[in-house]
Amino acid sequence: MAPSVQQIPEAVPTVAPGKVVVPVHEKATYKRQIDVEGGTTTAKYPAYLPTWNPAQIYPPLEPYTHVEHGLAADPKFPDLLAEGTKVTKLTPTIGSEVTGVQLSKLSPAGKDQLALLVAQRKVVAFRNQDFADLPLQEALDFGGYFGRHHIHPTSGSPDGFPELHIVHRYGPPGSSEFDSFLANRNSSASWHSDVTYEAQPPGTTFLYLLDGPPDGGDTLFANQAEAYNRLSEPLKERLHGLKAVHSGFEQAQFGKERSGLVRREPVKNEHPIVRTHPITGEKALFINRGFTRSIVGLKKEESDALLNFLYDHISRGIDWQARVKWAPGTVVVWDNRVTVHSATLDWSTGERRHLARIQPQAEAPYETPYVKKE
Ligand SMILES: [Fe+2]
Encode pLDDT of 299-358 as tens digits: 999 999 999 999 999 999 999 999 999 999 999 999 999 999 999 989 888 899 999 999
Mean pLDDT per segment of 10 residues, for the chain of length 374 residues? 28 32 58 92 96 93 97 98 96 98 98 98 98 98 98 95 95 66 86 98 98 96 98 98 97 87 95 98 98 98 98 97 98 98 90 96 98 86
Active-site residue (options: 194, 264, 277, 352): 194
Active site residue 148: no
How far is C-alpha 326 from the chain's CA centre? Answer: 16
What pLDDT score does 29 carry?
A: 83
Phi-psi region of 119 (alpha: psi -120 to 50; beta: other; left: phi over 0): alpha
8 Å CB contact between 343 and 212? no
Around ion ligand 1, residues with a beta carbon closer than 5 Å are 194
Do 107 and 147 touch, CB atoms closer than 8 A?
Answer: no
Reported as type and span, the H/E element at residue 333 is strand 331-335
Check if 357 is active-site. yes
Where do the domains of the chain lie, and which CATH numbers do they carry?
A: 80-358 (3.60.130.10)
The predicted pLDDT at position 349 comes to: 82
Catalytic residue among 66, 127, 192, 293: 192
The verdict on whether 194 is a catalytic residue reads yes
Give the pLDDT score at 243: 98
Looking from the CA of 35 toward its CB, the CA atoms found within 13 Å total: 16
Phi/psi at 178 (5° precision): -55, -50
Any catalytic annotation for residue 352? no
Model pTM?
0.91
